[in-house]
Amino acid sequence: MRQGDDSRVILVVDDQEGNREVLRMFLTESGHIVIEARNGLDALNICTNECPDLIFMDLAMPVMDGYESVRLLRQLPQTRDVPIVAYTAYDTPTHRERTLRTGFNEFLSKPIDSKRLDLVLDRFFNGGALKRT
């Protein structure tokens, strides 16, 4: 969170514009600032200049997938502790387990469910694992 400001910067990483648009709509309606990337490499480049408060990351993308991107983001000092949510249509126990082993903090399946999204945001911003100032 930026000092003196209640808005959070959230990075949405997905190769599909429609998926980014849906998530952007939900997040901006909640008062958050949304930045976007089309793949994991773009996300890494963005995070060298702008450290988001939270990242939603698709798993299957061209150029660099979500698994590789998270592995690299966890090595950067500025993003080591940023919560990263796997945001994917691959909703199987195997994918859920692999995401958590890889370094994701949470798993959210597509299509987006606004109540589940609210729970995830509440976990990280209001009473959960991480509060940043």
Per domain, the residue ranges of the chain are 9-121
What is the pTM (predicted TM-score) of this model?
Answer: 0.88
**Bigger pLDDT: 130 or 71?**
71
Contacts of 86 (CB under 8 A, 6+ apart): 57, 59, 66, 95, 96, 99, 104, 106, 107, 108
Check residue 127 and give its pLDDT. Answer: 64
For residue 129, what pLDDT band results from cuts at 50, 70 and 90? Answer: very low
Look over the chain and give the mean of its residue pLDDT values, rounded to a whole number: 88
Q: Which fold has domain 9-121?
A: Rossmann fold (3.40.50)
Query: Average pLDDT, stretch 65-85?
Result: 95
* Residue 21 pLDDT greater than 80, yes or no: yes
Query: Average pLDDT, stretch 90-105?
Result: 87
Query: What's CA 74's distance to the chain center, in Å?
Result: 13
Out of 2-6, 43-47, 71-75, 119-123, least confident range: 2-6
In the chain, % of residues over pLDDT 90: 65
Check residue 6 and give its pLDDT. Answer: 63
- Tell which residue, 62, 118, 114, 54, has the closest CA to residue 86: 54
